[in-house]
Structure 1
């Protein structure tokens, strides 16, 4: 492979902001695997955010690249899996695509095929586009991808903040993650937070039902395990909160000791896990956390915490929640899914152009 921009290239990043900034180019924020695709004829490589190649996991994307992208190019984008049943993006199905067995990779490429959504151009032919302003890169990308067909897509984009605000509300129902705002006059800057991202932020009152120990040692909390009660009255595992200063982690370890219990009467005992209920034990063995101890210390589900979250993936928080405040005034059994805001469903097919 001989390209003007060669792998690995860390992608350009975005900094979180609270509102839609003015005077920029706006795109939907796709919730998938950030990927830079390098193509030189029949040679194709898919780079990831951590700069490790993902080429072997997406054979159907490789074939689509050969059929749809320019013969020699480097394009930044996102690999996503759209679930017809959910009419939106399916993060869980995408996560399953990273599998060590070639036979499983081949099977999943047929059962849950992925798409590539392009949103920036780093090189075309013999020319590097890294130093060109984004407005020029976007125009060249639109021209280069004009003949492309699914599963290769060009992301929607607009300079109208009113349209962007409408997308921000509508597209969440299809599993998208917010908005990305890009300055039209900036070059591509790998690993720099040049762009802005606007994400949904909501709050929920959750039950603290366990904790994991911090990697620094047994005297500090790593994360608190959060639960919500379902209509069946059972406590479901919905995620974790864990961004605490070290001093606070050590204080929490002392504060929570009176709540430590056994699994005998805990809602997330092995019996609940084996019955198919949503418990943290689902993740104790994970190819995403190879060698990492994901076991936890059970707590009596008596303490309530208010957390900030962006959106749900099925029955759990899509990302790690953020601590807001303790809620000693809340009855743990009042912490149910009913409090969560449900976005209006929106068909992903109306977004993938």
Structure 2
């Protein structure tokens, strides 16, 4: 398997899907990470394919007992005051190596694993069914003596239990549920999973911006229905998170949203959450960068 690997994605749905052959997992509010156990070390990859091992060095060290040839998919999370704190995970992800070490001392990271892409004995197993991959994941973690801070997320085929999780785990920082079919293979780049979240937000792809790339004023986003719209003024912390991707973009060209506003169009692999209630209008509100 070549670095970086394309990760499977989830499509937001308004209600919890139910039916035979479905499995439910808590959706941790963190930073998507793929953990590669190579022959010599552990590397960590973001959803977009960037290497971020230095920012999550405590997790890289924790992954060393994994057998070489293992590739896991999961969420890097950070706890504060007994609950998962998305802001803390974002701070870690955007820190320099030196700053990340200081943050790790104060708030160590955890790795919530929900899939396995490569097995040390079987190689690439993305073509296996979800239930078969899940069994392989649990067996591998147990056989290697892996425990916290690396741990598999819970899973259940009981929709009633899943509803309980949805209701009672919110105060712990769990943002919802991910639903997977038991026969599904792992398809990178495909929104084959479903997710139900407490927050009324939808995912939107960043397709451009206004203002300087190093400090964008507004983001142009493609909404789930295909429309392109400008966001409201982007807060400084969100602008700082998106800016490196905009600056690194090789080509820009002038374009207009569906309602006629001008912006600079770029090709970047950045997803943001926007308030669902604002997507009916020409201007949307970005709540955070995924």
Question: What is the aligned counterpart of 2:275 among 318, 321, 326?
Answer: 321
Cα distance change on mapping 1:322 and 1:65 into 2, 3 Å: same
Check conservation: 1:81, 1:91, Cα contact below 8 A: yes
Aligned to 1:116: 111
Structure 1 unaligned segments of length 5 or more: list them: 204-213, 224-240, 254-278, 294-317, 327-353
Aligned to 1:160: 158
RMSD of aligned alpha carbons: 3.3
Deviations 1:125-162 (A, max 9, x none): 14211111111000111111123211111100000000
Whole-angstrom CA distance in 2 between matches of 1:27 and 1:284: 28
Cα distance change on mapping 1:99 and 1:281 into 2, 3 Å: closer
Cα distance change on mapping 1:283 and 1:292 into 2, 3 Å: farther
Cα distance change on mapping 1:112 and 1:20 into 2, 3 Å: same
Whole-angstrom CA distance in 2 between matches of 1:139 and 1:156: 12
Aligned to 1:237: none
| 1:320 CA displacement | 2.5
Whole-angstrom CA distance in 1 between matches of 2:238 and 2:54: 26
Does 2:65 align with 1:77? no
| 1:215 CA displacement | 3.3
Aligned to 2:50: 52
| 1:179 CA displacement | 0.4
| 1:163 CA displacement | 0.4
In the TM superposition, 1:22-101 aligns within 5 A as: 22-23=19-20, 24-67=22-65, 69-83=66-80, 85=81, 87-99=82-94, 101=96
Does 2:7 align with 1:11? yes
Cα distance change on mapping 1:245 and 1:140 into 2, 3 Å: closer
| 1:283 CA displacement | 3.1
| 1:72 CA displacement | 2.6
Equivalent residues, number: 238
Structure 2 unaligned segments of length 5 or more: list them: 202-207, 212-216, 248-271, 281-290
Using structure 2 for the length normalisation, give the TM-score.
Answer: 0.72
Q: What secondary structure is seen at the aligned counterpart in 1 of 2:54?
A: helix
